[in-house]
Structure 1
């Protein structure tokens, strides 16, 4: 479970890093409000927008800007009061600030060395590796005629044997909703149809039809296989984001492994150490 949480962290950090606003040196950054003499600039609003509640994040841009400003004003009002009471010197507060600072440094380092460092060539190489590892699957293109009784199915087969067109018979006699398409089922791989149906469909030669009815929970089928071919893998464009996540995952784990070896990690609690070591055990990259 911890391993999955770590991978989820990679994804969430990547999103957070990509969403952070970037202020170009020559981009105007006007003051939009002042609170107790402290300025709130447009860049502050942009940053606050990235931290809005998911429901508020769905608002139209101008409403979202107002929500972000309201949040910034509220924060500054109470932060100023907290400063007057010296709450920044509270040990618990200092500990939290130290943790949040380290977490943001972690995110910045991750963005620089993982998110921004991933190249199209790395994604393409990983895509090729994943595609090569997929077992080849055959898919067939088939049509069928569904009948209520075995005798009706046998009668249809007799008409096919006599030279009647399969598509015409499907439109005339099939009880399946796709009868108007001539019983066309398109291409499918194993596991897509009920077992009794596909057990026969994948044994037929291209252009052949069943010589005996095939019984399933839906009735009696007469099946025609029109084509057979290896299943085409998904195009890179379809899975690019998933592949990019894999590349980032491996880069993130490599960064952590190197850092752990360089710095050393000592855990004094035996049970916690055992659980930590198991959760962080190095595994070959998938």
Structure 2
């Protein structure tokens, strides 16, 4: 019999949880051993709720956080009821079930090892060391800061260049004459790199030296530009916080591969299936 109201979503979750993507859900809980509910003589603890949250993962995001604990409790209660019914029917003694249980234990031990000995063993010092190594010789792409004055025709642009040659202030002239959106800000375009401006503009501005401006108007589809280069610099290396996730994943991959190589050297692995034994390794070239 299906439950109603708040308990109905739990049924949908329970039906599909085997196909869910594993994730983690942060819950505010008491001690892991605290008993939340009883199903017959079986106790459901805070740890059971946390394990269910880990298994259900992103599926919980479909519901308001205020409902999560109730949903998780419903799932665990339903699991316990069905598990008790399975034992009464002798399903726990079925050879196929025992094989499945062995596989699930194998999988859980694998996951626990990875979590504790691979991922969990990566410290902040490890991340810092990986960051220092990765960006030791980092040299970011060149980026520049520029201003421009945009007008509709070439003759007006040439007249403005003459004013600049006679000592006019570029920013003030941009505020007075430029028709572009940067005009009120003195023509300031901020910092940008190659590939961010239209080609004629880019070619002209990257050819300048800081403090200089184009002596001939530059035409683009937007009109005629006078461009002044303010500054050149190299992009700074990213902060550790910005790349920590990628660095951690690389460390996990490296340590996983190293551990697997170590284990395969220590433990003999025999492939008894002839077809699988003769199959090319993944990534190997075949003629």
TM-score (norm 1): 0.80
Q: What is the correspondence of 1:20-99 to structure 2 with a 5 Å cutoff?
A: 27=31, 29-52=33-56, 54-57=58-61, 59-99=63-103
1:214 aligns with 2:233: no
* 1:259 CA displacement: 2.0
What does residue 280 of structure 2 align with? 274
Cα distance in 2 for partners of 1:115, 1:156 equals 62
- Residue-by-residue CA offset, 1:64-113 (whole Å, 9 max, x unaligned): 11000000011111111122222223344333322221121111111222
What does residue 183 of structure 1 align with? 187
* 1:272 CA displacement: 7.7
| More deviation, 165-174/213-222 | 213-222
Q: How many residues align?
A: 263
* 1:262 CA displacement: 2.7
* 1:28 CA displacement: 6.5
Q: Secondary structure at the match of 2:284?
A: helix
1:159 aligns with 2:163: yes
* 1:57 CA displacement: 3.9
Q: What is the correspondence of 1:220-259 to structure 2 with a 5 Å cutoff?
A: 220-259=224-263
Cα distance in 1 for partners of 2:64, 2:278 equals 47
* 1:50 CA displacement: 2.1
Highest Rg: 1 or 2?
2
- Does the CA contact (< 8 Å) of 1:138 and 1:230 recur in 2? yes
Cα distance in 2 for partners of 1:127, 1:240 equals 8
- Does the CA contact (< 8 Å) of 1:20 and 1:47 recur in 2? no
Cα distance in 2 for partners of 1:265, 1:149 equals 78
Note the residue ranges of structure 1 that are not aligned, 5 or more in a row: 1-11, 280-286
From 163, 167, 170, the equivalent of 2:174 is 170
Distance 1:266 1:278, change over 3 A: farther
Cα distance in 2 for partners of 1:66, 1:122 equals 39
Q: What is the correspondence of 1:129-140 to structure 2 with a 5 Å cutoff?
A: 129-132=133-136, 134-140=138-144
- Does the CA contact (< 8 Å) of 1:114 and 1:251 recur in 2? yes
Cα distance in 1 for partners of 2:178, 2:39 equals 75
Distance 1:201 1:260, change over 3 A: farther
What does residue 126 of structure 1 align with? 130
RMSD of aligned alpha carbons: 2.9
From 99, 106, 121, the equivalent of 1:117 is 121
- Residue-by-residue CA offset, 1:188-225 (whole Å, 9 max, x unaligned): 22223223222222221110011112222333221111
- Does the CA contact (< 8 Å) of 1:49 and 1:57 recur in 2? no
Q: Secondary structure at the match of 1:188?
A: strand
